[in-house]
Amino acid sequence: MLHHFQKVCADAELPKLRYYDLRHTHASLLIANGLHPKLIAERLGHSSIKLTMDTYGHLFEGSDREAAKKVDQLFGAKAPTKPVGRKVVPIRKKAI
């Protein structure tokens, strides 16, 4: 299977990729799109959500901010016009 994957990548003139790179990208994209960690764990075949969070937990940073915004929206609070506290720097997505 790995040999076939490498051939497909070469035929598509893609850089050499490990099969694991696709798995990691898949998980990262699911996290970025807000899929619940339990569902991600199931898709990856992890025996527990702890393994998923230990491996990909750093990618969930900022989700607390998003949760706070959603709670504010539920209660009709208006978002501040200026950032409060530390400066928020947008994450730049890297091309694969």
Task: Tell me what pLDDT residue 39 has.
Answer: 94
| CB contact set of 22 (below 8 Å; sequence gap of 6+) | none
Write out the residue range of the structural domain in which residue 50 sits.
2-74
Structural domain contains residue 61: yes
| CB contact set of 21 (below 8 Å; sequence gap of 6+) | 96
User: Taking Cα atoms as reference points, which of 54, 85, 55, 93 lies closest to residue 68?
Assistant: 85
**Looking at residue 57, what DSSP letter applies?**
G
Structural domain contains residue 63: yes
Count of domains observed in the chain = 1
Cβ atoms of 41 and 24 within 8 Å: the answer is: no
**Looking at residue 61, what DSSP letter applies?**
T
Four-residue CA torsion sign, 73, 76, 77, 83? positive
Structural domain contains residue 96: no
Structural domain contains residue 81: no
Structural domain contains residue 87: no
pLDDT in tens, 41-95: 999 999 999 999 998 888 887 766 777 788 888 888 665 666 555 555 566 666 5
Structural domain contains residue 16: yes
Task: Tell me what pLDDT residue 51 has.
Answer: 93
Structural domain contains residue 28: yes
